[in-house]
Amino acid sequence: MSEEIKLLAKILKDDPDYFKVLNHLKIANLDYAKNISKYTKIDINKVNKILEELKEIGLIEEVHSKTVKRTKARLKKQFQVRMHHTYYKLTLLGKQVYKYLRDNN
């Protein structure tokens, strides 16, 4: 395990809401802030702050597309929906940090 992953995990370990957001994105594959807030029961303003911080350190990225299919967004009820929000997904580094946090809690 690289030192970068351990360092990022140590930074995020202080607030359990970061893990909740990472866990939600791992389950959902991709989602938007309002839906993340709904499923994790975290205030929308805090979710937006967490998403911005995770994006800045490279653990998540924005998804740019006109539509999203349920095969990609696992929590969507419709087969295909138009994207009216900014969707986020885990990067490879984000998946590695999530796995490290999950396995070392």
pTM, to two decimals: 0.85
How many other C-beta atoms are found inside a 10 Å radius of the C-beta of residue 70? 14
Q: Which two tokens mark 80? A: 């295909």
Question: In this model, does residue 26 exceed pLDDT 90?
Answer: yes
The domain in which residue 46 lies consists of 3-103
Give SS3 for 60: strand
DSSP E strands: which ranges in 23-90?
Answer: 30-32, 60-63, 67-69, 80-82, 87-90
Q: Mind listing the pLDDT tens digit for each residue in 58-87? A: 999 998 876 665 545 555 555 555 556 788
CATH number, residue 82: 1.10.10.10
Q: Higher-confidence residue: 84 or 54? A: 54
Q: In this predicted structure, what is the pLDDT of residue 69?
A: 54
- Per the structure, the count of domains in the chain is 1
Amino acid at 3: E
Asked if residues 62 and 88 have their Cβ atoms less than 8 Å apart, the reply is yes
